[in-house]
Amino acid sequence: MSHADAAVVQVAYHHGQYLFPGFAGDTFTKTFRINGLRSIKATSGQMTAYGIICEVINQHGRVCFVAEKTLLFPWKIPPSEATAEPQPPRQQTLKEHFINQSEKLLALGGTSLSRLRAGQLSMALSSLGRLNHDRHYNTVKYSGDELMIPGGLVYALSTAATARDLHEILHEELVNCNFINPLRPGDVMGCISYISAAETHVNGVLERLTVKTIGIKGMDVRDLKGQPLPLALFTTPKLRTKRVEEICAKECPELSKRIVVISERTIMRQAPKTDMFLL
């Protein structure tokens, strides 16, 4: 959208929810609403962080996807007493459908699923992708160390890297996603995922996982296997760049300036099948 062209950088995503499926032949429109403003004093001058709620709506007026993103703009806003109206809870039609129909998965047979538990750590490697935008490819206007991979693609790379361990995801919600350091063209990003909670649905067919994923550039994350990592990176909510770098400098210098993204998701998937046997 045009407002994103004036932004300096994407800072974060919050509360991404799939509410209704998209079908072949659908037409989608996107709306956005300013939900909050916050002044920031940066080294390059005064800036303003905009919290923007975005909705994807189909031709029938039904909201299919909603998320809040935070963008940083290079100007200062005057003080204001204006406040945004709180939004009512949204109907989780797609999620409810999966839950109501979950027992049909038993008839379809099991799939190969990794067993996951709270406190478990997994590591994976993702590759680089690019998106056509001046700040992402224009080497005439920007030098190589100024080009950046866009936030949406960084987040997609991190989820792609963890897809094999979490297979097969039926539904997911993005709780929070903060971009810590830029990812440049030519960088390779690996990911570490931490399972902070695991709950089995009452019918025993589905399970709900809370997953914190950290994207790390400039190293093969598999080299970190067996090495103690700062627990605060996985358990502290909504970490921002300054606090992340403080934790890394104190507890794990190898990760300093290497963490690209930290995201938290809730995932619904088919529970791994437990084989029963009699003694």
The domain locations on the chain are 1-76, 92-279
What is the spatial distance between Cα 232 and Cα 235, in angstroms, rounded to a whole number? 5
* Global model pTM greater than 0.85: no
Report the pLDDT value the prediction gives residue 135, as an integer from 0 to 100: 67
User: In terms of CATH architecture, what is 92-279?
Assistant: Roll (3.10)
Alpha-carbon span 68 to 12, nearest angstrom: 8
At residue 129, the pLDDT reads 45
Q: Give, in words, the CATH class of 1-76.
A: alpha beta
In this predicted structure, what is the pLDDT of residue 277?
45
Q: How far is CA 16 from CA 50, 54, 90, 152, 171, in A?
A: 17, 9, 12, 12, 12
Q: How far apart are the first and last CA of the chain?
A: 63
Q: Tell me how far apart the alpha carbons of residues 6 and 178 are, in angstroms, rounded to a whole number.
A: 20
Confirm whether 1-76 and 92-279 share one CATH topology. Answer: yes
pLDDT at position 101 is: 76
The tens-digit pLDDT sequence of the chain (279 residues) is 556 667 777 788 888 888 888 888 899 998 988 888 888 777 667 888 888 888 999 999 999 999 888 888 888 887 776 777 777 777 777 778 777 777 777 676 666 566 777 776 665 555 444 445 666 666 777 777 778 888 888 998 898 888 878 877 888 888 999 999 999 888 889 999 999 998 887 677 888 899 999 999 999 888 888 889 999 999 998 899 999 999 999 999 999 999 999 999 999 888 876 554 444
The radius of gyration of the chain's CA atoms, rounded to the nearest angstrom, is 20
**In angstroms, how far is CA 235 from the centroid of its own chain?**
16
Q: Distance between CA atoms of 122 and 208, rounded to whole angstroms?
A: 17
pLDDT of residue 2: 55
